[in-house]
């Protein structure tokens, strides 16, 4: 069985690039920390860390192993909390921060049922497309669809964030349907600001298209609505457009050229030995509520099956 203390040390070394510092955080001397890392490497049979007198870095195997190590630690934390807190009362205030559009479309509609399950719980929801400092802001949970960069936080995936290319029937009737990624250069593409490069998987490998258009916005719903109104071709998440796709207001295009996207919706919370029961309750409820695949992708499954 893999030693969780060794895994925790490895994750901290990956975050700090310093064995002595990581060991000190966990109450270990530099020599003991180094010995623990050696035992971890021996137990799995691969070298995880490059060690020199000047710096520490992960090997390729270490980089590949890191996300799995984090997953094991999160799962262990949740399991331990479940056992120790089974009888704990879920009460008090739960402070959540989430992106504006996702909060409106997918959090608020489900909160009523969640709060019915836990009548002693109050919820404060702050909606912002800016990534806030959770600790400074005093938040219990942050909903994010961006890569986690803060090593002091833990992330648990709630659902996939599938992204597609689509346009309105009116636009496609007027301007034609692009049949490959390069054809987008002849179309008006509506961009989320800062996301002008669209990366596709093609039979000949990856293809990046730098799109351009007459309108851009920093809000996903604005981009979606511009697409509905026939302003151009859009890239959007299915969670923001599934109802419009189902209603025929938007049509998925370039299905044979999927986007190179591995995005997900994450519930992020401060790292700790024990996960608060109210946090665990929120994560479990919404993960089950969204489903796997999430309900917003089922509209694509039904259309692709036709």
| pLDDT level of residue 26 (50, 70, 90 thresholds) | confident
| pLDDT level of residue 56 (50, 70, 90 thresholds) | confident
Which of 28-37, 38-47, 120-129, 167-176 is modeled with the greatest confidence? 167-176
| Ranges 25-29, 100-104, 172-176: which has the least confidence | 25-29
Query: Domain 163-253 belongs to what architecture?
Result: 3-Layer(aba) Sandwich (3.40)
CATH class assigned to 4-84: mainly alpha
| pLDDT level of residue 150 (50, 70, 90 thresholds) | low
What pTM, to 2 d.p., does this model score? 0.66
Using H for helix, E for strand and C for coil, what is the string for the chain?
CCCHHHHHHHHHHHHHCCHHHHHHHCCCCHHHHHHHHHHHHHHHCCCCEEECCCCEEECHHHHHHHHHHHHHHHHHHHHHHHHHCCCCCCCEEEEEEECHHHHHHHHHHHHHHHHHHCCCEEEEEEECCCCCCHHHHCCCEEEECCCCCCCCEEEEEEEECCEEEEECHHHHHHHCCCCCHHHHHHCCEEEECCCCEEEEEECCEEEEEECCCCCEECCHHHHHHHHHCCCCEEEEEHHHHHHHHHHCCCEEECCCCCECCCCEEEEEEECCCCCCHHHHHHHHHHHHHHCCCCHHHHHHHHHHCC
**Better-predicted residue by pLDDT, 270 or 67:** 67
pLDDT of residue 156: 87
CATH: 3.40.190.10, 3.30.43.10, 3.30.56.10, 3.50.50.60. Which one for 92-159+263-304? 3.40.190.10
Per-domain boundaries in the chain: 4-84, 92-159+263-304, 163-253
pLDDT of residue 88: 57
Domain 4-84 identical in fold to domain 92-159+263-304: no
């Amino acid at each position: 069985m893999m030693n969780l203390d060794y895994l925790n040390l490895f994750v901290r070394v990956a975050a700090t690039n310093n064995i002595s510092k990581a060991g000190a955080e966990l109450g270990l001397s530099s020599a003991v920390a180094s010995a623990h890392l050696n035992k971890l490497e021996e137990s799995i049979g691969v070298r995880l860390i490059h060690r020199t007198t000047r710096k520490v870095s992960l090997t390729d195997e270490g980089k590949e192993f890191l996300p799995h190590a984090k997953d094991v630690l999160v799962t262990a934390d949740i399991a331990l909390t479940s056992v120790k807190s089974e009888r704990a009362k879920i009460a008090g205030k739960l402070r959540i921060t989430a992106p504006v559009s996702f909060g409106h479309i997918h959090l608020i509609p489900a909160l009523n049922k969640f709060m019915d399950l836990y009548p002693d719980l109050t919820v404060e929801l702050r909606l912002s497309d800016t990534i806030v400092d959770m600790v400074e802001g005093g938040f219990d949970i942050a909903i994010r669809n961006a890569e986690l960069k803060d090593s002091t936080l833990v992330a648990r995936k709630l659902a996939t964030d599938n992204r597609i290319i689509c346009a309105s029937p009116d636009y496609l009737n007027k301007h034609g349907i692009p049949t490959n990624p390069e054809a987008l250069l002849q179309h008006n593409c509506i961009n989320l600001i800062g996301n002008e490069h669209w990366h596709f998987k093609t039979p000949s490998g990856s293809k990046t298209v730098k799109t351009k258009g007459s309108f851009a916005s920093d809000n996903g719903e604005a981009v979606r609505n511009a697409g509905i109104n026939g302003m151009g071709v859009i890239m959007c998440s299915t969670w923001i457009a599934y109802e419009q796709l189902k209603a025929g207001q938007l049509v998925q295009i370039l299905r044979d050229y999927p986007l190179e996207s591995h995005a997900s919706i994450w519930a992020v919370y401060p790292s700790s030995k024990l996960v608060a029961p109210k946090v665990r309750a929120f994560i479990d409820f919404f993960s089950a509520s969204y489903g796997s695949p999430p309900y917003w992708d089922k509209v694509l499954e039904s259309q692709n099956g036709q």
